[in-house]
Amino acid sequence: MNKAKVRILVIDDEPDVLQAITTSLTLSGYAVVSASTPAQALHICEQQPIDVAVIDFILPKMDGLELLARIRQVRHHIRSIIITGKIASPTDPRDISEVLKERVQADVYLEKPVSGDQLGEHIEALLAGEPSNDWKEIGKRMVSGQTAKIKTAAEVAKALKKNKRK
């Protein structure tokens, strides 16, 4: 694979992180373009071919997965890496990376800080067609989570029915 022909789009609203990732991937030989906002990223995707998008999860105006969904409307076969810090969601006590894995929209999820070598390894695997996430494990967690929700709903319904009789 000729790295110089691989076009990578990096999206992060933190200037230092954006610069570090862009520089690292450029020094590794990739053709890299960067954007600090979702609007810039969408414009780039409309104007030029992109093979891999490296997207920060927390972005202004839309999250990284929403941006990825919009990018895929233009670039259907784009490969994707979502990067995020260990941030708890205010609506979900789990680590954000666990929440992201359940949404299963990106090819790879990585926690910050991300090294250039780590990104390079995942990009190589994506371009070689190797699966990066353990989809079987993610699927099991999704089924387990849905089963737990159904069980909880059944218990609540049973309790409500019991209270109604009283």
The pLDDT, as a whole number, for residue 138 is 45
Task: Using the CB atoms, write b or e for 6-28: b if 16+ within 10 Å.
Answer: bbbbbbbeeeebbebbbebbbeb
pTM for this model (two decimals): 0.70
Residue ranges per structural domain of the chain: 3-133, 134-166
pLDDT per residue, tens digit, the chain (166 aa), is: 678 789 999 999 999 999 999 999 999 999 999 999 999 999 999 999 999 999 998 898 888 888 998 998 888 888 999 888 755 445 555 555 555 555 546 788 787 888 888 898 889 988 888 655 544 454 455 455 556 667 677 777 777 777 777 6
CB atoms inside a 10 Å sphere around CB 142:
14
Task: Tell me which long-range contacts 68-77 makes (C-beta under 8 A, separation of at least 24).
Answer: 68/105, 68/106, 69/105, 70/38, 70/42, 71/41, 71/42, 71/45, 74/42, 74/45, 74/46, 75/45, 75/49, 75/50
User: Pick from 146, 150, 130: which is nearest to 138 by CA?
Assistant: 146
Tens of pLDDT, residue by residue over 46-90, are 999 999 999 998 898 888 888 998 998 888 888 999 888 755 445
Cα–Cα distance, 102 to 97 (Å, whole number): 9
What is the CATH number assigned to the segment(s) 3-133?
3.40.50.2300
